[in-house]
Amino acid sequence: MNTIIYKINKGKIDDKYIKKAGEYLKEGKLVSFPTETVYGLGADGLNERAVSNIYKAKGRPSDNPLILHVSKKEDVEKLVENISDIARICIDKFWPGPLTLIFKKSTLIPNIITGGLDTVAIRMPSNEIANKIIEAANTPIAAPSANTSGRPSPTSARHVEEDLLGKVDMIIDGGICDIGLESTVLDTTGKYPVILRPGKITKEELESFFPKVLEDKSILNPKEAPKSPGQKYTHYSPKAKMYLFLGSDEKVARSINKKLTKFKDKKVGILGTDENKDRYNLDGVMFISLGKKKDYDSIAKNLFKSLRKFDSENIEFILSEGFEDSELGNAIMNRMVKASGGNIIYVNEVMED
């Protein structure tokens, strides 16, 4: 399949390309476009054939449901059975933005969207290009992250090309995604809101509107069975084997340096932070900084890009610093734990020899 690529400048959006993307979606074609979180792989969410092509292009298991994207708050109404008070507050306070809400679905929603569940995930993105494309298509747009299933999500059009060139009809290049991690997924159907996937909208932020916010147990524990179907699959994985080191900066650096001596003949990359760079023995080792240790926005924005960079350099082992799992750090650590396949080294417990 021939993939057309159009570049749209965020500051000066060319409606000609928006219109073209809308037409493609309406015709049942696949269009990848930027959102504020990551790039999405869009199709008409009410067209079953188009949606089935999403699963094919990504190589995604069919029991992993998709998020529907709308361009107006009112568009939710016909897609859901009812809007709970929790959902109403979230729509009011956080849309448009990086918060996906789970509702009881209406009969309009094809089964292929929800993987047979009786609920549906919906969000309204704040990225203006995304919003205009959805509006032009005039239908809810199903859009998972535009990566091959299991790979780190794409935060630039280049990443989408790496995975999906020749497999989608159009890629809209709208620059680098502001946030860099996927939306927070929140179940709004119960007595309390439940975070199924942590993201930019944090538990702490939600707690200023709700007396109690629950979290799915599997978020930071790879052994727990997740409630959100997609969370059970291997995710965000670089080709390299990744080790995640947790503990004080000094001990992490010491453990990483020790590991480096074991991997002497291998291609090794260190994923770290500005402050700690000088602690590592970087002779013959590739180092990528995610930013400053406390600058979670920068770390989130750079994480997937860095994992893909290691892949493009054929790195075999990634040794990574970890982060505190409060606020946005929680979403960062959720992705890192999965990217490492649960390969975590707690350095404070490592015996010194």
Q: How far is the CB of 104 from ligand TXA (least distance, A)?
A: 10
Q: Applying CB under 6 A, which of residues 40, 97, 198, 269 lies at the interface with ligand TXA?
A: 40
DSSP H helical ranges for 143-248: 157-164, 203-206
Q: How far is the CB of 302 from Mg ion (least distance, A)?
A: 18
Q: Applying CB under 6 A, which of residues 97, 144, 247, 322 lies at the interface with ligand TXA?
A: 144
| Spatial distance between the Cα atoms of 171 and 142, rounded to a whole number of angstroms | 15
Assess contact for 207 and 213: CB atoms under 8 A.
Answer: yes
3-state secondary structure of 216: coil
Q: Applying CB under 6 A, which of residues 109, 185, 201, 288 lies at the interface with ligand TXA?
A: 185
Q: Applying CB under 5 A, which of residues 127, 131, 139, 145 lies at the interface with Mg ion?
A: 145
| Spatial distance between the Cα atoms of 38 and 59, rounded to a whole number of angstroms | 18
Assess contact for 280 and 287: CB atoms under 8 A.
Answer: yes
Q: Applying CB under 6 A, which of residues 170, 196, 285, 300 lies at the interface with ligand TXA?
A: 196
Query: Pick from ligand TXA, Mg ion, none: which does 189 bind, CB < 5 to 8 A by kind?
Result: none
> Nearest-CA neighbor of 130 among 2, 236, 37, 49?
37
Q: Specify the amino acid at residue 222.
A: P
Q: Using CB positions, name the residue nearest to ligand TXA.
A: 230
Q: Return the range that interacts with ligand TXA (CB under 6 A); candidates 164-172, 226-234, 315-323, 343-351.
A: 226-234
The Cα angle at residue 222 between residues 254 and 86, in degrees rounded to 5: 120
What is the helix (H) or strand (E) element at residue 53, kind and residue range? helix 48-58
Nearer to Mg ion, 64 or 119 (CB): 64
| Spatial distance between the Cα atoms of 189 and 114, rounded to a whole number of angstroms | 15
Assess contact for 98 and 183: CB atoms under 8 A.
Answer: yes
DSSP one-letter string for 257-300: HHHHHHTTTS-EEEEE-GGGGGGS--TT-EEEE-S-TT-HHHHH
Q: How far is the CB of 270 from ligand TXA (least distance, A)?
A: 27
| Spatial distance between the Cα atoms of 28 and 228, rounded to a whole number of angstroms | 27
Q: Applying CB under 6 A, which of residues 47, 71, 126, 231 lies at the interface with ligand TXA?
A: 231
Q: How far is the CB of 39 from ligand TXA (least distance, A)?
A: 7
Q: Return the range that interacts with ligand TXA (CB under 6 A); candidates 201-209, 224-232, 259-267, 274-282.
A: 224-232
Q: How far is the CB of 144 from Mg ion (least distance, A)?
A: 5
- Do strands 4-7 and 67-69 pair parallel, antiparallel, or not at all (unpaired)? unpaired
Q: Is 229 in the site for ligand TXA (CB under 6 A)?
A: yes
Nearer to ligand TXA, 66 or 290 (CB): 66
Binding mask 54-83 for ligand TXA (x = CB under 6 A): ----------xxxx----------------
Q: Return the range that interacts with Mg ion (CB under 5 A); candidates 1-9, 113-121, 145-153, 263-271.
A: 145-153
The residue ranges that bind Mg ion (CB under 5 A) are: 145
The residue ranges that bind ligand TXA (CB under 6 A) are: 35, 37-38, 40, 64-67, 100, 102, 114, 117, 119-121, 143-145, 182-183, 185, 196-197, 228-231
